[in-house]
A and B are shown apart, each in its own frame.
Chain A
Amino acid sequence: MSTAAKRPGLLARVVRRPSGAAAIGWLVLLTAATAGASFTAPRGPLEQDLGHVLAGPSGGHLLGTDNLGRDLLSRLLFGGRSTLLAVAESLLVYLVIGTVLGLASGYLGGWVDWLVTRTADLMFALPGIIIVLVVLSVFPGNLHAAMITFGVLGSPGLIRILRSQTLGIREELYVAAAKVAGLTRSQILRRHVLPRMTSMVIVQAALFSAIVVTIQAGLGFLGLGAQPPDPSWGGLVADASQNIDRDPWMLVPAGIPLVITVIALGLLGDAIRDAAIEGWSVSKMAAPPGRTVPAPRSAEDAVAPVEGSIEPDARALLSVRNLSVEIGGIPVVQGVSFDVMAGETLGVVGESGCGKSVTALGVLGLVPGGGRVAGGQVVFDGVDLAGSPAELARVRGSGIAYVSQEPMVALDPTFPVGRQLAEAVRRHSRADRRTTRAAAHRRVIELLTMVNIPDPEAVAGRYPHQLSGGMAQRVAIALALAGDPKLLIADEPTTALDVTVQAEILTLLRGLQAETGMAVLIVTHDWGVVADLCHRSVVMYAGQVVEQADVESMFTLPLHPYTAGLLAANPHLAGGGEPLPTIPGTVPAPRDWPQGCRFAARCSRVTDACAAAPVALTRPVPDRLTRCVHSQQLLVEGTPR
């Protein structure tokens, strides 16, 4: 209880927002003024002032008068009573049916859930006002029946939301119970689950009330609400419509309060939702004691100069220097440099979250998640692509092509694959516009044949969902080949596939490379792929290159403990009969990167020197780079494998 008391309550958080305060202010004022209309209204609702008929605002009549000289402000206040009553009736029915059926449906599941969901779906499809009109034709003038009906018709909205919430919370309860030690299940329910549900129900109630206010006024306008001479908001609009050519002013007092009330309810709903979200995130984001989150540092601080490789290599097909990528202002890749020679295959290795894919996409200038290339050079064929949209547009597809990780989502699901391939072919063909449909089709079939698709004509006519994962990946590779690229970037092209299919795709890539002479940059976490395909490999950890070497040297003598750990954890290379060694711990998130060696926390060789300062890439032997303070020692003694 004490922790709950420290945080401001939901109401306090709502009122702190200007829109929330204004909405609550208007609604409270309106409710008080209409409920106490006998005291607040300047005149009686039926009192006529025949000297002032259809008058504009004046001292005597603040909002003017209607065609019988009745004071509009007074009629508004008295008329508001029926609105209040209508909202109360509808809302009660809506809340009772919505919560009971929503909770029951989500919690009980089974046939209850089936029945409730089906019925709710059916009711959702109905035009509600029509059903209300039927009720009113059967029970003439009975607004109570109409508003109760409307409450029933609205409840499916609440049922759906509460049902999915309950389903979610049922799962979450176990997680929460396991995590929050020392809290009983009922405490969790009371402290975490119910408040969230309650605020959600209040939001929905506010939005539903807004609809009820409109509908009640609408019924009044149609002549189905309070009967004249009794005032109602909808009736006032109807009166105004009778005098629209003589006194359009009357529309203003008749409609504006209605509009403001509906806006206030809508704003209230938004404010409650925002306040509630703020409430949860405050409790979630609070850092546990004893652990500080270091502020992200700029690239310069953390990246030590890399000896001898500052300038791009003119002989390389692709030469990346000091590439830095930020997502949401946080650096996720820092100072990455590597070269890919023409016809060569370079592997980029590391665990998930080390920045491999972001680096690969960064080369193409396509950082996901709204990120951007923050610095560095990407020189392809002698031209720096970084920060040059025009050069990037020229190179993509025809110079550098790209194959992604998940073949099943790499193709547009709404077009046959042949048409997507044809689009790529036409885009990249030298003849450009003159490439006829038939020529493009021939090239599509040729591409599909190149990637060993058995029946290319038939496959060209299929949609992506009609292909297997392996077939889809072959098509994706064919798409990448359409522009005769000099470099293919393949982002874990086999990860999502079955083992046998993986082998086929690797064989295909090797064959294509021999055939076309293109270079391949392959991102992977599988040493088997590296051994199979690559000439050299780059190991990345926490956004940095930690080691770079030719594949054979790296396999026989890794010069970074992380590389050694990854190799030891590889099922293909481990000795039989022994349990597979693993690297303890996980890759730190970008905002948690330490000042010194980023691998230190997981390293068996860690010493004080590791954490002291950023570790620079060094070249302990020719053509090899490593980012470890113990590299000389590793070189001398070799790494136990």
Chain B
Amino acid sequence: MAIFRLVIRRLLSSTPLLFMVSALTFVLVSLVPGDPARTIVGQHATEEQYRTVRGQLGLDEPLPVQYWHWLVRVFHGDLASSLFSGEPVTSVLNNRLPVSISLIVAGTVVSGILGVALGLLSARRGGFLVRIVDGLSLIGLAVPAFWLALVLIAVLAVQLRWFPVTGYVPFADDPAQWARSLVLPVMSLSVGAVAIIAKQTRDSVLDTSTRDFIRVMQANGFSPRSILYRHVLRNAALPVVTVLGVVLVSLLSAAVFVETVFAMPGLGSLTQQATIQHDIPLIQGAVLYITVLVVLVNLLVDLAYGRLDPRVRAA
């Protein structure tokens, strides 16, 4: 039941984020130059017709009231329709969601496993592995994901033909092709993330190794394997999980570029297209979806934290 309480508390504490993001986008959208009511009724309408349409659209009310109405509609699952295709925004977004989730989950799993392994090894061995981690983090910081993606395409897809150049195959159609189509996007997404996680793991393992209880275990003859893999690793995992959360959120940003490069029909490339087409309802919906994803990621991080650290569970 402690876990249940934790979930509720975390969800409540993330409400301000959802509130802030939606309010921010709403205010921004209200700044759009031009008057939708005037556009609808046209140049030659009477003042009365114009006022009627304005009333129907709710534009004659103050901004906070408009925001409230918008919120109520959102709670009823109504995110209006795309200006470009006329489709309901929710159905467009729901179609796109699995693609982004595949990409980000795969990216997180890959960078989590590689990052922790590399960090642990470089903490234990030092030497050239440390330089590999440092080199990777330089690449991760300096090489933009979209350019790295293009270089990977030029070499591994165009020249060597190991992977498809672009495109995405849904899992349900063909799992093998789905995995193949994800390799290059996940690689472009993960290089920086692997480096960040490896660095944090290394620091965290080295730091935990000097703590009192580890010395007590060594002094009392616990097996070195158990000390490293059970006790050091578990305690070192706490800061790594925090960084993993930050990395996940940054993958959401990077996905905009990677999905665009690989022409993957996900939320990120959708946001890019909607921006170019000034499809305001679609943008609003996409931002809302992405913010909810951020909130869920943070919730997962908190749950993992609670799982790892009994003090958090009790608090």
Q: Which A residues are closer than 8 A to B by beta carbons?
A: 118, 122, 125-131, 133-140, 210, 214, 217-218, 221-224, 237, 240-241, 244-245, 248, 251, 254-255, 258-259, 262-263, 266, 361, 364, 366, 368, 393, 395-398, 400-404, 406, 409-415, 423-424, 427-428, 463, 465-466, 476, 479-480, 482-483, 489
Contacts and interface: CB of A to CB of B under 8 A. Distances in A.
A402 B222 CA distance: 12
A138 B29 contact: yes
B314 to A, nearest CB: 7
Given A122-B17, A135-B28, A396-B221, A210 B294 contact: no
Q: Number of contact residues on B: which range applies? A: 35 or more
Contacts of A135: 28
A133 B20 contact: no
Contacts of A483: 220-221
B68 interface: no
B261 A428 contact: no
A480 B252 CA distance: 49
A366 B224 CA distance: 13
Given A237-B150, A479-B216, A222 B221 contact: no
A205 B17 CA distance: 26
Contact of B249 (A127, A412, A480): A127
B151 interface: yes
B213 A410 contact: yes
B86 to A, nearest CB: 18
Given A413-B310, A414-B308, A222 B260 contact: yes
15 contacts: A129-B256, A130-B252, A130-B290, A134-B28, A136-B275, A210-B142, A244-B158, A258-B144, A259-B142, A262-B142, A397-B221, A398-B221, A401-B220, A427-B222, A428-B221
A127 B253 contact: yes
B213 A251 contact: no
A251 B253 contact: no
7 tightest A-B CB contacts, nearest first = A397-B221, A402-B219, A396-B221, A248-B154, A255-B147, A397-B220, A262-B142
**A140, A222, A259, A483: which has the most chain B beta carbons within 10 Å?**
A222
B21 interface: yes
Given A133-B272, A251-B154, A262-B141, A480 B220 contact: yes
Contact of B311 (A210, A403, A413): A413
B2 to A, nearest CB: 13
Contact of B141 (A210, A406, A482): A210
B143 interface: yes
B260 to A, nearest CB: 6
A412 B310 contact: no
Given A396-B220, A412-B234, A413-B309, 18 more contacts: A125-B298, A126-B21, A127-B249, A131-B287, A134-B284, A135-B28, A138-B28, A222-B256, A222-B276, A223-B272, A244-B154, A248-B154, A266-B138, A266-B142, A366-B219, A404-B212, A414-B309, A465-B311
Interface string B293-315: 01000100000000011110010
A129 B151 contact: no
B184 to A, nearest CB: 13
B218 A241 contact: no
B235 interface: yes
B222 A397 contact: yes
Contact of B283 (A118, A134, A251, A410): A134
Contacts of A224: 272, 275-276
B143 A423 contact: no
A215 to B, nearest CB: 9
B5 interface: no
- Output the residue of B215, B223, B294 with the most chain A CB within 10 A: B215
A134 B275 CA distance: 7
B154 A129 contact: no
Given A414-B234, A463-B311, A401 B219 contact: yes
Interface in B271-287: 271-272, 274-276, 278-280, 283-284, 286-287
- Of A129, A463, A489, the most chain B CB neighbours within 10 A belong to A129
Contacts, number: 205
B274 to A, nearest CB: 7
B177 interface: no
Given A127-B252, A129-B256, A259-B143, A251 B151 contact: yes
B275 A404 contact: no
Contacts of A223: 272, 276
B25 interface: yes
Given A241-B261, A248-B154, A401-B220, A412 B256 contact: no
Nearest to A483: B221
Interface in B143-191: 143-144, 146-147, 150-151, 153-154, 158-159, 165
Nearest to B149: A241
Contact of B219 (A129, A136, A214, A361): A361
Contacts of B294: 125-127
A466 B220 contact: no
A40 B154 CA distance: 31
B22 to A, nearest CB: 11
A402 B221 CA distance: 10
B32 interface: yes
B226 A137 contact: no
Contacts of A266: 138, 141-142
A398 B220 CA distance: 7
Contacts of B17: 122, 125-126
Contacts of B222: 397, 423-424, 427
Nearest to A222: B272
A423 B216 CA distance: 13
B146 A218 contact: yes
Given A255-B151, A463-B311, A133 B256 contact: yes
Most buried by A among B250, B275, B310: B275
Contacts of A480: 220
B56 interface: no
B62 interface: no
Contact of A412 (B146, B213, B261): B213
B220 A424 contact: yes
